[in-house]
Amino acid sequence: MAQRSPAVVTVTGAAGSIGYAALFRIAAGEMMGPDTPIHLRLLEIPSGMAAAEGTAMELEDSAFPLLRSIEILDDPRQGFDGTDVALLIGSRPRSKGMERGDLLAANGQIFTVQGRAINEGAADGVRVLVVGNPANTNALVAARNAPDVPADRFTALTRLDHNRAIAQLAKRSGAPVDDISRVSIWGNHSSTQYPDIFHARVGGKSGASFAQDRVWLVDDFIPTVARRGSAIIEARGASSAASAANGAIDHVHDWVLGTPDNDWTSVALSSPGAYGIPEGLVSSFPARSIDGSWRIVEGLAIDGFSRKRIDASVAELESERDSVRSMGFI
Ligand code: NAD
Ligand code: LMR
């Protein structure tokens, strides 16, 4: 098969847990496809540079055929120079005694700097995926600080939530994961998100037939998916890493190479006002990737049950947006 042009992939937080779980799979070609050589940029803060060097040594020792170069940097301008795909994973975690506003402020600063650096130097077709929390609002801050890059190139990760919803539906129905399609995550990557199965296909059945069991839907399915991140933190003592890396790889893979026919995925992207979600908010939608661009799935019927839950998550996004606006980040 003819090789495509190499892609410059920048990963921030490269020395962290998600970075470690993602980098080897990216270098193996699982994200950009088996015929795209990769130039990897590992972007860290000074305290993470030594660990990133160690990861780079292991990447080198893996002798991945597609891996053309590895650079380790702590300067965002150098890190994003010519970048085709940016995975913004590194962010300030919530520490003891830190309020939500403090977290938004610390991350607002990081994503302002990174948005500007992407604006200045990234490749024309750059694709950005924000993983670091609060992911939707961090993506909003980065996008607003990159006015020359089309807003639809900035996305945030809800593919992990999408995959979690598929897994729970598979457990409930007994259908294998690959018989489940058209699940949708709406809103924020937080416990207010709304995993929607009304339009899903589960083997030969409609997701709506499973949604008829409202006790299961309301008391089990929705909270299990929406609070899975917290449940993992409680069990592992650290937030999800390998599954988050997997979701990030799935997201970029489908963005670049397309979503499967007859299915869609979930992506947090700048709202064009679809489904009554205010324009410019970075909200999760059901979406397909067509010719390398995300297209929101249009025309889905949203009943009162779903509307109420979408609106609650969107209200949280509006409040996060208002906070970062009042702090001067957007
Ligand atoms: P981690 O603490 O293991 O690693 C984070 C790394 O980021 C560290 O190495 C740190 O030095 C680096 N970093 C911090 N600020 C940086 C900056 N300005 N530039 C570059 N690097 C920087 O954390 P992790 O487990 O890898 O998680 C990373 C983030 O992903 C967290 O915010 C976590 O909450 C989030 N997360 C999101 C999802 C999702 O689905 N969206 C899922 C899981 C985790
Ligand atoms: C997850 O969904 O696993 C994470 O976003 C949880 C977190 O707070 O890091």
Q: Kindly give, in sequence order, each residue whose CB lies less than 8 Å from that of residue 299, ignoring residues fewer than 6 positions away.
A: none
- Nearest protein Cα to ligand 2, atom 8: 229
Other residues' Cβ atoms within 10 Å of the Cβ of residue 54: 12
User: Of 156, 184, 202, which one is at a domain's C-terminal end?
Assistant: 156
Token readout for 196 is 């929607």
pLDDT in tens, 182-239: 999 999 999 999 999 999 999 989 999 999 999 999 999 999 999 999 999 999 999 9
Q: Which atom of ligand 1 is nearest to the CA of 93?
A: 32
What is the model's pLDDT at position 4? 87
CA count, 13 A, side-chain hemisphere, 224: 16
CATH number of the domain to which 23 belongs: 3.40.50.720
What is the model's pLDDT at position 85? 98
Average pLDDT over the chain, rounded to whole? 96
User: Which residues does ligand 1 sit against, CB inside 6 Å?
Assistant: 12-13, 15-19, 43-45, 47-48, 89-91, 93, 110, 131-133, 135, 157, 160, 189, 239-241, 244, 247
Residue to substitute in 89, 130, 157 for testing ligand 1 pocket (most ligand atoms within 8 angstroms of CB):
89
121 lies in the same domain as 182: no
174 lies in the same domain as 201: yes
φ, ψ for residue 12 (rounded to 5)? Answer: -90, 155
Token readout for 256 is 């670049």
pLDDT in tens, 58-103: 999 999 999 999 999 999 999 999 999 999 999 987 777 777 788 8
- Determine, yes or no, domain membership for 2: no
User: Which residues does ligand 2 sit against, CB inside 6 Å?
Assistant: 133, 160, 229, 232, 239-240, 244
The answer to whether 152 and 146 have CB atoms below 8 angstroms apart is: no
Compute the chain's Rg from CA coordinates.
19
What is the model's pLDDT at position 95? 74
Handedness of CA 162, 145, 255, 314 (dihedral sign): positive
Q: Which atom of ligand 1 is nearest to the CA of 241?
A: 25
Residue to substitute in 12, 18, 112 for testing ligand 1 pocket (most ligand atoms within 8 angstroms of CB):
18
Pick the ligand that lies closest to the CA of residue 134.
1
Other residues' Cβ atoms within 10 Å of the Cβ of residue 97: 6
79 lies in the same domain as 44: yes
What is the model's pLDDT at position 101? 83
Mean pLDDT of 256-270: 97
Handedness of CA 199, 205, 207, 212 (dihedral sign): positive
What is the model's pLDDT at position 290? 97
ipTM comes to 0.99
What is the model's pLDDT at position 241? 97
Residue to substitute in 240, 246, 251, 266 for testing ligand 2 pocket (most ligand atoms within 8 angstroms of CB):
240
Other residues' Cβ atoms within 10 Å of the Cβ of residue 108: 25
182 lies in the same domain as 286: yes
Give distance in angstroms: CA of 225 to centre of ligand 1.
21
Question: Active-site residue among 189, 199, 251, 253?
Answer: 189
- Determine, yes or no, domain membership for 220: yes
Q: How far apart are CA 250 and CA 42, in angstroms?
A: 20
Is 273 known to sit in a ligand binding site?
Answer: no
315 lies in the same domain as 188: yes
Number of domains the chain contains: 2
User: Of 122, 156, 190, which one is at a domain's C-terminal end?
Assistant: 156
Is it the case that residue 256 has pLDDT exceeding 70? yes
- Determine, yes or no, domain membership for 123: yes
- Determine, yes or no, domain membership for 308: yes
Strands 282-290, 293-296: parallel, antiparallel or unpaired by DSSP?
antiparallel
- Determine, yes or no, domain membership for 325: no
The answer to whether 23 and 55 have CB atoms below 8 angstroms apart is: yes
211 lies in the same domain as 101: no
What is the model's pLDDT at position 1? 57
User: Of 94, 122, 156, which one is at a domain's C-terminal end?
Assistant: 156
What is the model's pLDDT at position 88? 98
CATH number of the domain to which 311 belongs: 3.90.110.10
Q: Which atom of ligand 2 is nearest to the CA of 230?
A: 6
294 lies in the same domain as 168: yes
260 lies in the same domain as 202: yes
16 lies in the same domain as 88: yes
What is the model's pLDDT at position 98? 77
125 lies in the same domain as 274: no
Which of 324, 330, 268, 2 lies closest to 136 in space, CA to CA? 268
- Determine, yes or no, domain membership for 284: yes
Other residues' Cβ atoms within 10 Å of the Cβ of residue 227: 14
Mean pLDDT of 35-40: 98
Confidence of residue 16 (pLDDT cuts 50, 70, 90): very high
Is 16 known to sit in a ligand binding site?
Answer: yes
287 lies in the same domain as 197: yes
Show the domain range for 84: 7-156
Mean pLDDT of 294-309: 98
What is the model's pLDDT at position 92? 86
**From residue 199, how far is each of 7, 248, 263, 303, 306 by CA, in Å?**
35, 24, 11, 11, 11
126 lies in the same domain as 263: no
- Percent pLDDT > 90 in the chain is 95
Q: How far apart are CA 139 and CA 111, in angstroms?
A: 8
Q: How far apart are CA 24 and CA 101, in angstroms?
A: 35
Could you tell me which residues are beta bridge partners of residue 284? 187, 268
Other residues' Cβ atoms within 10 Å of the Cβ of residue 8: 21
- Determine, yes or no, domain membership for 326: no
The answer to whether 175 and 203 have CB atoms below 8 angstroms apart is: yes
Give distance in angstroms: CA of 98 to centre of ligand 2.
16
- Determine, yes or no, domain membership for 298: yes
